[in-house]
Amino acid sequence: TVNLRVPVGYKATLDDPVKLANDAVEYAAGAVEEERGLRFSRRFVIKQLRVEPSAWPDVAAMRAAIMDVENAPMTVGLPDLSVVP
């Protein structure tokens, strides 16, 4: 878990939390806005120490999905002040 303070007036664009699982591993990641900051958390659980060769395509697909989540950008900046609510 990582906590990040955000300057007053700034807003973060956050993705929905992610939960992925197969027979070998589980992965969860997300971020939430808290008072003047963001809290990031992620969890990786190895459920099987050995994976049969026939299951490697599933493991490779899971790894690719996890890397997509890990590499996704997040934007923190001033809100668009040209939009009047």
**pTM of the full structure:** 0.76
Q: How far is residue 66's CA from residue 50's CA, in Å, rounded to a whole number?
A: 19
For residue 60, the Cα-to-chain-centroid distance in whole angstroms is 18
Predicted pLDDT of residue 85: 52
Are 81 and 49 a contacting pair, CB within 8 Å? Answer: no
Structure confidence by residue, pLDDT tens digits, 18-73 = 999 999 999 999 988 888 788 999 999 999 989 899 999 999 999 999 999 999 88
